[in-house]
Amino acid sequence: MNFDTIIRGGTIATASDTFSCDVGISGGKITALGADLGNAGEIVDASGLLVLPGGIDSHVHIAQPSGPGIVMADDFASATRSAAFGGNTMVLPFAMQQKGESLREVVKQYHAKADGQCYVDVSFHLIIADATDSVLGQELPALVNDGYTSFKVFMTYEGLALSDMEMLKVMSVARETGALVMVHAENYDAIRFLTDRLEQAGKTGTKYHGVSRPIAVEREATHRAISLAELIDVPIMIVHVSNREAMDEIARARRRGLKIYGETCPQYLMLTEQDLDGLNMEGAKYVCSPPPRDKASQAACWEGLQQGIFSLFSSDHCPFKYDDPQGKLLPKGKTSFRWVPNGIPGIETRLPILFSEGVSKGRITLNEFVALTATNHAKTYGLYPKKGTIAVGCDADIAIWDPKRQETISQKLMHGGCDYTPYEGIAVTGWPVSTMVRGQFVVRDGKLTGKLGAGDYIAREKSELAKPSAAV
């Protein structure tokens, strides 16, 4: 058998096994795994390196409208370039509906932004902001059939928050169509009440962002979302969980047999509320929701990853430049934390952080790393086994890692559109050196080799994990 490429001499890890053999690639697919596969158009020497499934980042925001005067720092070209340098071969951004918009139109707009502009593969989740009868009855079921098999709902944010009635209606459509609902769980009214009170007391600095969204706000919404899902027997994914109390709601629901899944993100392992404090709006660099908490919450999130309460580790990449009046230094943001654009960059640093803090420091195994960063994302969102593992027949989406390489995370090393990284100065051991999408190198030995437009749009299947517990 003649291969296009053979990756030779590396140690391969999947979510279940670690082994050494050649990886034979033809036509963009993995076509053989075995000892000494012979010849190929190209032999890639991976001696001393790890050969892992490319990361799938299933929670990223790219080129998303973010409010008057605010512009996101990444378009599809810069975000997917940055993703590739961070060891990712696929990302799942959102196509966000705004009030009054047709979902189908929104999807078309996002395709227009992404088509020909991606270095790695992409697929879209939907964000439902306007749960009208025509959206619920027509657009949503048709879009699920077309491969948009997951949608996010918000329990907070002006213009996005759904009422409980609307949440129930969206969840019912998910149950009927086999889609998976992702929930941003924070109590909107409670946040508004606390924000008003803080502002009246003159407490408007960025450090009060965290005070306006305490753990109880997240815990209550998590509990409510789970209860609503239980009422109609539909699985849900609680995204970006930041603390033990919200995590315990998920764990308790799972013990009761409910299909409730959880995701956490690097900011909840690496940052704290103290980062939100700082002179000259420095704290704005860390404003995201839910906010970073404290050291005990970080420890809880590690436990959640170790115990499988969180099956996904995503970046929630949502980049705004810092030194930019259309970004974190929006003039209105200086009058109150309420107006500071919410979100931080992380698409390029997600994997090195989890590898270093998790695998290199012995908190998780290499196989757990693969599951949390690639395989579980593919399984959760209808991409498996095409994506997310290394096996014969899968897309040759591969990241080659140097497990010993030491780097210090710095904006100088980043390849996206943002002008800062919240993880500046963090020393890591383990670094992705090359990234291959469907058999073609996008990044090779630290250099961009992929062509803009090489990343494809991938329509998704319905996820096994989205099946309700009981038959209809």
Residues in the site for ligand URP, rule: CB under 6 A? Answer: 61, 184, 240, 288-289, 316, 318, 342-343
In the complex, minimum distance from the CB of residue 400 to ligand URP, in angstroms, rounded to a whole number: 30
Nearer to ligand URP, 316 or 419 (CB): 316
In the complex, minimum distance from the CB of residue 425 to ligand URP, in angstroms, rounded to a whole number: 22
In the complex, minimum distance from the CB of residue 71 to ligand URP, in angstroms, rounded to a whole number: 15
The site map against Zn ion for 342-361 (x = CB under 5 A) is --------------------
In the list Zn ion, ligand URP, none, the entry touching 377 (Cβ below 5 to 8 angstroms by class) is none
Stretch binding Zn ion (CB under 5 A), from 129-137, 184-192, 213-221, 398-406: 184-192
Q: How many CA atoms lie within 13 A of 398 on its CB side?
A: 32
Nearer to ligand URP, 258 or 318 (CB): 318
Kindly report the number of other CB atoms within 10 A of residue 98's CB atom.
12
Nearer to Zn ion, 184 or 386 (CB): 184
Q: Which residues pair with 13 in a beta bridge?
A: 18
Using CB positions, name the residue nearest to Zn ion.
Answer: 184
In the list ligand URP, Zn ion, none, the entry touching 297 (Cβ below 5 to 8 angstroms by class) is none
In the complex, minimum distance from the CB of residue 266 to Zn ion, in angstroms, rounded to a whole number: 13
In the complex, minimum distance from the CB of residue 160 to Zn ion, in angstroms, rounded to a whole number: 9
Nearer to Zn ion, 265 or 354 (CB): 265
Please identify which residue in the block is written with the tokens 């998920």.
250
In the complex, minimum distance from the CB of residue 396 to ligand URP, in angstroms, rounded to a whole number: 31
Candidates 34, 30, 4; CA nearest to 22 is 34
Nearer to ligand URP, 184 or 285 (CB): 184
User: If binding means CB under 5 A, how many residues of this protein chain bind Zn ion?
Assistant: 2
Residue type, position 467, single letter: K
Structure tokens at 462: 């319905």
On the question of a cis peptide bond just before residue 432, with omega within 30 degrees of 0, the verdict is no
Say whether residue 213 binds Zn ion (CB under 5 A): no
Integer Cα distance of 150 and 180 in angstroms = 5
Nearer to ligand URP, 272 or 434 (CB): 272
Nearer to ligand URP, 311 or 315 (CB): 315
Say whether residue 402 binds Zn ion (CB under 5 A): no
Q: Out of 184, 338, 387, 415, point to the residue binding Zn ion (CB under 5 A).
A: 184
Nearer to ligand URP, 50 or 250 (CB): 250
In the list ligand URP, Zn ion, none, the entry touching 123 (Cβ below 5 to 8 angstroms by class) is none
Structure tokens at 37: 């596969």
In the complex, minimum distance from the CB of residue 265 to Zn ion, in angstroms, rounded to a whole number: 9
Integer Cα distance of 426 and 408 in angstroms = 6
In the complex, minimum distance from the CB of residue 76 to ligand URP, in angstroms, rounded to a whole number: 17
In the complex, minimum distance from the CB of residue 179 to Zn ion, in angstroms, rounded to a whole number: 18
In the complex, minimum distance from the CB of residue 159 to ligand URP, in angstroms, rounded to a whole number: 13
Q: How do strand 260-264 and strand 236-238 relate by DSSP bridges? A: parallel
Nearer to ligand URP, 338 or 386 (CB): 338
Cβ(405)–Cβ(430) under 8 Å?
yes
Angle between helices 188-200 and 215-232 (to 10 degrees): 160
Nearer to ligand URP, 31 or 315 (CB): 315
In the complex, minimum distance from the CB of residue 152 to ligand URP, in angstroms, rounded to a whole number: 8
Nearer to ligand URP, 278 or 403 (CB): 278
In the list ligand URP, Zn ion, none, the entry touching 342 (Cβ below 5 to 8 angstroms by class) is ligand URP
In the list Zn ion, ligand URP, none, the entry touching 462 (Cβ below 5 to 8 angstroms by class) is none
In the list ligand URP, Zn ion, none, the entry touching 288 (Cβ below 5 to 8 angstroms by class) is ligand URP
Cβ(90)–Cβ(454) under 8 Å?
no
Say whether residue 218 binds Zn ion (CB under 5 A): no
In the list Zn ion, ligand URP, none, the entry touching 350 (Cβ below 5 to 8 angstroms by class) is none
Near Zn ion in 289-318, by CB under 5 A: 316
Residues forming contacts to Zn ion in the complex (CB under 5 A) are: 184, 316
